[in-house]
Amino acid sequence: MSAKNEKTLRLLFPQWQGGGNNPPYILGAHLLNWLAPKSDGPFEEVPVDLTLDMEKVDGIVAKSTVLKQARAAKELIHKHNPERIVVLGGDCSVELAPFAYLNEKYNGDTSILWVDAHPDVYIPEDFPNHHAMVLANLLGVGDKEFVAEVPRIFNPEQVLYVGLNDLLDSLNSEPMRNMKLDSLGPDDIKQDSSKVLQWLSERKPSKVIVHFDLDVLDMTEFRSLLVSYYKTYEEYKDKFPRGVSMETIIRVLQDVAKSYDVVGLGITEHFPWDSYFLQNMLSRLPLLGDINNEQRPSFIAL
């Protein structure tokens, strides 16, 4: 086992409630873990409640469940006291505990690259699902109990959006308006990574944390996304802004890692439509499953 792997915790966090109680995120997280290169370092799976929770508390759907699971993740992280964390989610709110831990561990000498189509800075008054609030919480904005889980709040100067191109209205809410978070859209990174590297060179962080929401990817290239439901795909591929190619994201993150110490990588919002439907089909076939099972796959399409 390499010294680096000894200090890198892989955290499987198949949370689905923060994304609007969408069960495909459970399978999506497990598939990410199965597909990712094997590691000989420490591994933990955050226990996730599989019962539906539609209760809205303080304007947040499934708040009690999501908060409980964030605290469970924090306990598992502190059990290992890792130097680096890989998070395989689950909806975007899985980033709360690991990113909060890393910013505290490195005394705020970090930068976050928020590689995402969406800003994730909504407040409960404007949107009920926690996956769209998690960065606001890390910045000290939003629900008090979630913010209390962040012992060292990130400053706006620590955050760079990469690939942002949708739901920009949330950046103009009263708490967020004055933060003026830096942002690069898909066109800014299409040719090279220079603008990302320039932003980092101006801040000179000792550590870099990467949030990678798969919905930043171009839905015509990568189809395991919430927006890619087959019944609305043709409508949405023209309606939604064009995302970033997979090779572009790979190149940006490789370029960053060649010059900076990346201590956190979270990959979220894997929504594997085909695998999810196939899983349900197999569970209802003779010799494999229950031929009396008439339960169709449960999900909430966009």
Question: pLDDT tens digits for 77-123?
Answer: 999 999 999 999 999 999 999 999 999 999 999 999 999 999 999 99
Instruction: Indicate the CATH number of 3-282 among 3.40.800.10, 3.40.50.300, 3.40.605.10, 3.90.1640.30.
Output: 3.40.800.10
* 182/199 Cα distance (integer angstroms): 9
The pLDDT assigned to 4 comes to 62
Per-residue pLDDT band for 133 (boundaries 50, 70, 90) equals very high
pLDDT digits (tens, 9 = 90+) for 252-281: 999 999 999 999 999 999 999 999 999 999
pLDDT value at residue 227: 95
Cα–Cα distance for residue pair 207/112, rounded to 1 Å: 9
The pTM assigned to this predicted structure is: 0.96
User: Which residues make beta-bridge pairs with 18?
Assistant: none
What is the rounded distance in angstroms from the CA atom of residue 208 to the CA atom of residue 262?
5
Q: Is the pLDDT of residue 1 over 70?
A: no
What backbone phi and psi angles, to 5 degrees, belong to 28? -60, -40
Q: Which residue has the tokens 């090279």?
A: 192
Sign of CA dihedral 59, 60, 65, 67: negative
Q: Counting beta carbons within 10 angstroms of the beta carbon of residue 148, is it exposed (0 to 12), middle (13 to 18) or buried (19 or more)?
A: exposed
Q: What is the pLDDT of residues 34-85, one digit of tens each?
A: 999 999 999 999 999 999 889 999 999 999 999 999 999 999 999 999 999 9
At 25, the pLDDT band (50, 70, 90 cuts) reads very high
Q: How many helices (H) and strands (E) does the chain have?
A: 11, 10
Collapsed DSSP state (helix, strand, coil) of residue 8: strand
Rounded CA-CA distance 209/84 in Å is 9
pLDDT digits (tens, 9 = 90+) for 155-200: 999 999 999 998 888 898 888 988 989 999 999 999 999 999 999 9
Where are the domains positioned within the chain? 3-282
